[in-house]
Amino acid sequence: MRNIAVLYHDRYIEKILKAKDNNELFKDLEVAKDWYIKSFNLGDGQSAYHLGLLYEKNYGDMNEAEKWFGEGAKLNNLYAKAKFGRTLVDKKDIDGGVQMLNETAEKGLVMGQTFLGEFNENLKDYEKAVKYYSDAAQKNRGFYSHVAQYRLKELDANDDIPDGKNIEDIKELY
Tell me how far apart the terminal alpha carbons of the chain are, to the nearest angstrom: 37
16-46 pLDDT, tens digit per residue, is: 656 555 666 678 788 899 999 999 999 999 9
Least confident among 1-10, 87-96, 143-152: 1-10
For the structural domain made of 1-107, what CATH number should be given?
1.25.40.10
Q: Where in the chain is the domain with CATH 1.25.40.10?
A: 1-107
Q: What is the pLDDT of residue 23?
A: 66
pTM for this predicted structure: 0.84
> For 161, which DSSP code?
S
Give the C-alpha separation, 20 to 8, whole Å.
17
Instruction: Check: CB of residue 130 under 8 Å from CB of residue 165.
Output: yes
